[in-house]
Amino acid sequence: MIIKLYDHQKQMIKDARPILEEFNLVCIAAETRTGKSLATIFLLKDDYKKILVLTKKKAIDSWNSDLNLAAAKNFTVINYESIHKLENSFYDVIVLDESHSIGSYPKPSKRAAQVKEIAEDKKIVYLSATPSAETFSQLFHQFWISSYSPFFENNFYSWYRFYGEDDSIMIQGRMMKQYKAAKQDLIMQDINHLIVSMTKKKANFEVLVDEQIHMIEVNPNYLESIKHLKRHRIVRVDDHDVVAETAPGLMNKLHQLSGGTIKINNRLSLITSDHKVEYIKSCLGSDKKIVVLCNYIKERELLLSRLENSTDDVDEFKNEDYQYFVGHIKTFSEGVDFSYADSMIIYSLNFSATTYLQSKERLANKKRVKPIVVHYLFTKDTVDEYIYKAVSSKMNFTSKYYKDCA
């Protein structure tokens, strides 16, 4: 029995089909969990003979499951890292899942160059909930891979001279361009005809994400050590000198300490505090299924060792009686379905707006009726809150795509 689509998925297909036929490109900017993958399968399966889907490794099983539901046999699904293994690159259409992953700038990434080789003259469907979460400069190379790009420029620097503004800053005595100040309205004017948008609100999701922030007190002596590192860029931890030689290095080390760990060198990392883990156990541990995402390897080790009945295996967590799933936030922010879980805890964010926007939607599902609560753990008076404000404030780079759906 073939699965029945929701009305909002049918609308995505109806809007996308004429765009793809006329322009050979269509960008489906649909919020996480709105079913854009399944909609894309039904958009393509009856009109094209050979379709290639490029996605993240973690999402391959989900794609194959949807293909089975749709009884679609003319799709090949591989992860981006396996492009070089393709023996035959002739496909009628190429689907770029999480297309923002090829949006590096100012120079194209190796991934973008590889995709360009096989996709340049093909029809392309772009899929992403966050096409340009950091800056609109992320869009150039996403379209650069195609012969049908809405941009006429051949390279990013030429493109930025027209679509960007000077955002140079002083770095070590030299003025350096950041290439982030792309002109949003001008760019949207030139690509808007390629975009199909869908939000959870328009799709009539009954349950939306409730973000809850928890300010956690830490031992005053420990907090003073963090402040000492911030002031002097050096602090002593268990007979080891922790030194931050650069501003980014200092931010990373301050962030690690706020989560209770520190990387001394390439061989040694230490657990320095368990205040966040204790808070989870005492205040947030009542749900049956809890997803915990963190940013650092040592944090993952700390959580797995201190949270009883925890696992880092998704299948074990889903199918067995584990209370906690512990994973890296970058790895599990995209392409993984945690809609069966009761709640999520973000132990520590990374510095990516894309990861912030994607991770908090992992529990969302059209059929869900239970509240979705995402807990953010901040060590009081540390960089945790600053990082959250920095990544969450970039929502305007994504909301542009959904303005017609509001």
Domain boundaries defined on the chain = 7-198, 209-405
Mean pLDDT of the chain: 92
Residue 211's alpha-carbon distances to 347, 376, 399, in angstroms, are 13, 7, 18
Least confident of 31-35, 90-94, 108-112, 372-376: 31-35
Alpha-carbon separation of residue 385 from 214, 219, 302, 351, 392 (angstroms): 10, 18, 21, 12, 10
Q: Angle of helix 60-69 relative to helix 36-44, nearest 10 degrees?
A: 50
Q: What is the pLDDT of residue 279?
A: 97
The mean pLDDT of 358-384, rounded to a whole number, is 90
Question: Which of 101, 114, 115, 104 has its CA nearest to residue 140?
Answer: 104
Cα distances (Å, whole numbers) of residue 274 to 117, 123, 160, 219, 252: 49, 51, 46, 10, 18
* Same fold flag, 7-198 and 209-405: yes
Can you give the pLDDT at residue 74?
Answer: 95
Alpha-carbon distance of 42 to 9, in angstroms, equals 9
Report yes or no: 96 and 115 within 8 Å, Cβ to Cβ.
yes
Segment 220-246, tens digit of pLDDT = 999 999 999 999 999 999 889 999 988
State residue 36's pLDDT score. 94
Query: What pLDDT, on a 0 to 100 scale, did the predictor assign at position 1?
Result: 54
When mean pLDDT is compared across 59-68, 72-81, 350-359, the lowest value belongs to 350-359
Q: Which residues contact 87 (CB under 8 A, 6 or more apart)?
A: none
pLDDT (0 to 100) of residue 406: 36
Nearest of 396, 335, 346, 350 to residue 372 by alpha carbon: 346
How far is residue 151's CA from residue 187's CA, in Å, rounded to a whole number? Answer: 9
Q: Quick one: which of 52, 59, 101, 96 has its CA closest to 77?
A: 52
Residue range 157-204, pLDDT digits in tens:
999 999 999 988 887 788 889 999 999 999 999 999 999 999 988 988
**Cα distance between residue 327 and residue 300, in whole Å:** 7
Residue type at position 314:
V
- In this prediction, residue 405 carries a pLDDT of 41
* Residue 60 pLDDT > 50: yes
Between 362 and 317, the more confident residue is 317
pTM above 0.75, yes or no: yes
More confident residue, 371 or 303: 303
- 347: CB partners within 8 A, 6+ apart: 259, 276, 280, 292, 293, 294, 295, 299, 303, 377
The pLDDT, as a whole number, for residue 33 is 86
Assess whether pLDDT exceeds 90 at residue 151.
yes
Q: How far apart are CA 148 and CA 150, in angstroms?
A: 6
pLDDT above 90 as % of the chain: 74
User: Distances in Å between the alpha carbon of 36 and those of 16, 88, 96?
Assistant: 11, 27, 12
User: What confidence tier does 401 reach under pLDDT thresholds 50, 70, 90?
Assistant: low
Residue with tokens 């003025």: 175
Contact 342, 306 (CB under 8 A): no
Domain 209-405, architecture per CATH: 3-Layer(aba) Sandwich (3.40)
Q: Is 24 left (phi over 0), alpha (psi -120 to 50) or beta?
A: left
Going by C-alpha positions, the residue among 200, 209, 208 that lies closest to residue 8 is: 200
**Six-digit token string for 175:** 């003025």
Segment 258-290, tens digit of pLDDT: 999 999 988 999 999 999 999 999 999 999 999
* Cross-strand partners of 379: 216
CB burial of 343-359 (b: ≥16 within 10 Å; e: otherwise) equals bbbbbbbbebbbbbbbb
Q: Which fold has domain 7-198?
A: Rossmann fold (3.40.50)
Of residues 322 and 360, the one with the higher pLDDT is 322
Query: In this predicted structure, what is the pLDDT of residue 364?
Result: 84
111: enclosing H helix or E strand: helix 110-119
